Structure 1
């Protein structure tokens, strides 16, 4: 009756042949319906909380929750709707929102154009600048935004108050200012000046106000739209502040196949001391979940389907089998019970690489190399079940006996190989970072993580603070400064997360590029500076050295607390093959009158991450500490230590 229609054969809904502008002229109203992933995240988080018998009504939250605004003021908003970008996090830390209206304003201002007003908005809000209004009549409508035009509604209200516009006329003014059509603007200017005269504004004052309103109207945001977005931002921030485990688990469920997003969440969890557990075929679900730990603690359990190359359907089958018949008791039990038609070698390798079988067989390399054997047994057991050879009463797989699996005996991964395989399975480094291989060297040289170096306190204006870091060089890009000088921008990472740094030294830039191409770790001598206390320090690289070249030349020291004689005997056996380096090994034992005695076992040992890991597992040893070798008074053993 109003517009010509087109019948889309793929849909039951009629489609207009007119576009959105013409349908309005024909008398129809246009609505935009936004499908937001965040709505699903919120729903999932509420469902996860209900599993712990916690009922949450997100629509009934208080708008003055202190924890929420503390979180926002820290810029701690990774995963928070509309507020998670690095720039927005810096903005939150600078502006320090204290009420829901501030969130609406920041959602509106953080866009090209209006974001130029953010510093002034923050200064006026926090008392660093005086709040000024373009005209006394505008104070009531601009009070919530500290005298700054932010919303389209404020433009329309200003036209009503200053020039007597009706709501309909004010909307036409807003549109005209947005389109910048000169003829329409000239008409509106005349109308505005005429109406303003009734409020005792002369022509000059009216034109100044018109120009000011025009300046803001071009990028003014619709407040009702911003408020709806701010509502979701507040609700997600509330969940993160009060129930971080459910917040992370729900968020990650909807970024299941985006390893870069999952990596950001895992880094954020580690930074905030929220435990995240590796996948486990006996405990994980296909999706991310929250798991209760001893002592009423909580942890996020990594999803089986969150791994690369496994598939949600196959993982659901594994979890269903476990739910119906109980946990898997061994790798043989797993192979004899699973459906091999839904599981292939690549999936088994990915599960093994991620530690999914650690509870059944801690040697990941053996499972990985024996994947064909596991599948062979699974196929044989499935054939036996299908042919009815499961025993008279259907027990077991073949005649009631479980088929054994002989895994490769010589398969073993170094710490570096474990990390590489984890990266292949997760899409990022999960339990450890490549830099951790060099912890003996980095501890000796006093290297700190990026987070630790940045958290040592604010840096004074104009001050360049020196520091030492160890990081994996992931990517190097060349840029030109404003003065035309070429420099390198490096993407780096360490155990505290990812960060960027610049380097202006040409010879050091070349070394950075080579290390990035080879995927190697570097020791970085850096300088940090900071424009203001509210922003993160910037990192400038002054010197670059490959970490794997420093192991042989750096003197380090390891201290081990020996708890009993058995521990001492085990220690002497383990350290014998480690001779051939420049590191010092010191045993600390209880002496007479409970005084500790330090015994230097030698100063020519090779100490690396695998050595540390090996010694940490020895019963009778505790407090494995790494540090720089230095002169110290230790007792020289009078007797030769033998096992």
Structure 2
């Protein structure tokens, strides 16, 4: 089948949050349906959706074009004038361009004053434009704005600056959406392009996939602005902001066929997707051979120290240790163990409580020998293969608990050791979930609060089994009845269901931290959480790992803080400090307490369900506690 004669280059995915409403994977699907040979997502100051978009395009037989709409502070303003922020659409031609794009979107978030919107200065572009193609960004770009304001001289100076940076990789962008700035600027943009020998390119900035989504998009903009749909004084959705098919674009640009043809040319000039990499770790001991040798030496030394407190010759432990070392080094994870052991040792040396071990990592004799864990895997019959298995290749993942009040100190130590620009937290996305999107939609439609609240409470709320609005309509008779009989309720649900699941805001992973062997903006795009001075990856947990970054969990556990406080109080009163690792596991009074279900404040044993299980099982040995915890 012949491909369409147009490539959409200005699509906001759902990661231009509360403005774009298309999942990156859905962009690829829609591009295939419309016969586009390629498509680009171009989110504001972000590459959040780049990896899922790239993967989906490859699976759909569509060429991904990686872009971002970068906010740039306008240069050459009069002294004392307030800053003006314009936009520039940038696309990666090759690996160098992708690296520069990562660096620029990261700089937009990390290098600006926190009180200003994310942006870069114009000078930041200098030296970072190799491998990048630039579009002038239509009505949001400085050229169109200046020309619409009849500032021809300032527009010429700005065009000179862009040409000096991008040379033959600069396109003059035209969009035809009945926008007053675009309309006023278009003849001047065409004249400027003609006078400078610059190519024209046609775009249709798109926020949603199909024309029928317009009303839902308008509601989404109201949610973003805390405005009402019936208000006149608000930003409204454009009727043209959908992914138009090639025949519609041909009709719009019938007088400028070269502007359409250049969308294909640009796509042909771009040949890069978000890269997937093998795990990348900083080296703690030099070259890979030295890392392996250090792990073996540290683990053997640590095991002998552990065996001094255990009866017997220890041969079973040594055999298990050598087996694990062969597996760990054969899978290339020696550096991971050394890094984890290093920051845990630092925490313990600085009197920061660390958990004894949790999850499958407690089954490793190597981890026990390195004091990553403090539980004897052989004594407890724990299996190493649950943690690492050569037949199931995946990154090791220690769940490491630190005192809640001092967890940040450990992260700061890691930053100081490897470099602040080598360490980042991991982004998470808050989404428009069923109850929340129903309430948000009802609010902007100005429906009575009592009615919205009552309808939202009819949506089942099971954290482990979340119900969508569609499932609720199918499974809750009262909701289904109101949906059928009440036109306003039907409109509410129809609009809310279109928005359900879209990202609403960003946050950070509760525990995940990534550590790299180089500045992170050379590997992934970064974001700044306004509540922290630590960078955050723009890729979520799934895709940071695909990009080659390794996650380390720094969990903050209140129980450890409580235990340390208890030790402090006992020491102050009794004159000696009890050692938690010296406590016996056969204290009858403890088992009696557990059997009564008197476990409020006991980690993993304090929920109502666990307390009922304890009363029913009446544990009398440590193995009983293990079994209950595994439920």
TM-score, normalised with respect to structure 1: 0.24
Larger RCO (CA under 8 A, 6+ residues apart) = 2
Which has more radius of gyration?
1
If the length of structure 2 is used for normalisation, what is the TM-score? 0.24
